[in-house]
Amino acid sequence: MTPVDILILSNGPGEVTTWVRPVVKALREILGNNSEKIRISVVLSPCPNASGKEANIALSYPEVNRVQSAENFFSFLLWGKTAENWDWRKHGVIVFLGGDQFFPVVIGKRLGYKTVVYAEWDARWHNLIDRFGVMKSEVAAKVSPKYADKFTVVGDLMTEASLGNREYEVGNGGGTHIIGILPGSKASKLAQGVPLTIAIAEYISLKYPQTKFVIPVAPTLDLQTLESFANPKTNPVANYFDFQGGSLVTENNTQILQTVKGLRVELYQKHPAHDLLSQCSICLTTVGANTAELGSLGVPMVVLLPTQQLDAMRSWDGYLGILANLPGVGSGFAKLINWWFLRKKGLLAWPNIWAQSEIVPELVGKLQPQEVANLVLDYLDNPEKLAQIRNKLRKVRGETGAATKLANIVQEEILKLGI
């Protein structure tokens, strides 16, 4: 077999961890581990939600041979030159897993490679892309019949999260509730998310003292930064929620965030945390990719968008994100954008967007910890309500095996090359 390059195009932390990871694993399972025959490269494009650690995460995957970080993307897009002056084999396939769907069109033409696009909601450039793997049949239904043969329904890549072994141990008996806390990974979300969610947990623990609270720490977030957002001295936003603070302690090689009131929240640093999340009775989460991951796992959640500090939420995509983060004037733009958003708000959580109805509760406004805690307690007191949410989540998520199906499409395109 003539050597082939597979170039993965991706961008943000969610895509790198929940799309790229299962796809490169599936590619190696199908095409083999011999890099002399199949070489896998990852090129990242800029993303407003990126932390800067995405390249290191991608490079940690044993299936990947080389990675280029986002800051060097546009020189590659415009002139075809990587920062390390990579060589490219004569034959190859580009696999799009995040970013702008126009990127594989440009890069594919320059390298002369086949192009495969994974599309969740929208598929573009039908005449210029060779194949599409789509999450649901509704995406393909929008396409002109003359391009229908390019489309294959592969399902939701995030459902790969629900496969595999369950390794997390509760440790306190079968009746113990586990509540996951996902406050985000960027400062704009952590400032409100950390004190709010942990203050909620403190109220819940008063009624259910045996409840285990766990934060699956994002791979792009270090523990000291997380701790700083739990400290009212370094994060004054905590005062909005009457949160007195917490600090890091280590017990039996486990990192714990212990609050002034005595609550202990385990910091879970294995990634991905699907084994843990799958065992959660319910999760407290911000808006974003977390909701898609939890939805694909069938885990009930309460989605929180506090507005105590309107300029704190600056994690918008595109031009809105640029305006909200401008030096000096960004705070004013953020307040205006968020005020406008709150007036026009539609569904926020991905499972709700998929279903076009509110499967999981979305709480927006000047949220108070005790009020949210009472909602969570109602779910814990009425497990049939949680069961209903789980059933609805399973109905709206995509098919399983998406990564393998997408890898099969790549294999088909390689076989078409006749090499």
Q: What is the CATH number of the domain that holds 43?
A: 3.40.50.2000
Of 132-146, 227-241, 256-270, 296-310, the one with minimum mean pLDDT is 296-310
Say whether both 291 and 347 belong to one domain. yes
Say whether both 145 and 206 belong to one domain. no
Helix residue ranges per DSSP H, 208-267: 223-229
> In terms of residue numbers, what domain contains 97?
4-156+399-416
Flag whether 162 is in a domain: no
Say whether both 51 and 76 belong to one domain. yes
Residues 207-218 pLDDT 10s: 999 999 999 998
What does the pLDDT read at residue 173? 42
Higher pLDDT, 162 or 253: 253
Flag whether 344 is in a domain: yes
Say whether both 319 and 373 belong to one domain. yes
What does the pLDDT read at residue 333? 52
What does the pLDDT read at residue 176? 81
Flag whether 146 is in a domain: yes
What is the chain's mean pLDDT, rounded? 87
Flag whether 167 is in a domain: no
DSSP string, 185-208: SSHHHHHHHHHHHHHHHHHHHHH-
Does 346 score more than 50 pLDDT?
Answer: yes
Say whether both 118 and 230 belong to one domain. no
Does 309 score more than 90 pLDDT?
Answer: no
Q: Report how far residue 168's alpha carbon sits from residue 171's, in angstroms, rounded to the nearest whole number.
A: 9
Flag whether 229 is in a domain: yes
**What length is written for the chain?**
419
Structure tokens at 339: 């005020």
What does the pLDDT read at residue 336? 59
Flag whether 312 is in a domain: yes
What does the pLDDT read at residue 343? 56
What does the pLDDT read at residue 270? 84
**Averaged over 124-146, what is the pLDDT?**
90
Does 94 score more than 90 pLDDT?
Answer: yes
- What are phi and psi for residue 360, nearest 5 degrees? -110, 145
Say whether both 13 and 113 belong to one domain. yes
Flag whether 168 is in a domain: no
**Averaged over 340-348, what is the pLDDT?**
63
Say whether both 90 and 215 belong to one domain. no
Say whether both 284 and 314 belong to one domain. yes
Say whether both 142 and 192 belong to one domain. no
Structure tokens at 68: 């280029």
Of 250-259, 309-318, 327-336, the one with minimum mean pLDDT is 309-318
What does the pLDDT read at residue 119? 93
Say whether both 284 and 306 belong to one domain. yes
Flag whether 163 is in a domain: no
Residue 111: pLDDT band by 50, 70, 90 thresholds? very high
Say whether both 95 and 20 belong to one domain. yes
Count of domains in the chain? 2
Structure tokens at 163: 């496969």
Whether residue 93 contacts residue 113, with contact meaning beta carbons closer than 8 Å, is answered with: yes
Burial class of residue 344 in the structure, from the number of CB atoms within 10 Å of its CB (0-12 exposed, 13-18 middle, 19+ buried): exposed
Of 162-166, 233-237, 240-244, the one with minimum mean pLDDT is 162-166
Higher pLDDT, 65 or 143: 65
Structure tokens at 417: 């090359």
Higher pLDDT, 27 or 275: 27
Does 172 score more than 80 pLDDT?
Answer: no
Residues 178-188 pLDDT 10s: 999 999 888 87
Residues 51-67 pLDDT 10s: 788 999 999 999 999 99
What does the pLDDT read at residue 323? 47
What does the pLDDT read at residue 394? 84
Higher pLDDT, 69 or 270: 69
Does 231 score more than 70 pLDDT?
Answer: yes
Residue 388: pLDDT band by 50, 70, 90 thresholds? very high
Q: What is the CA radius of gyration of the chain?
A: 22
Say whether both 253 and 302 belong to one domain. yes
Does 337 score more than 90 pLDDT?
Answer: no
Residue 348: pLDDT band by 50, 70, 90 thresholds? confident
What does the pLDDT read at residue 338? 55
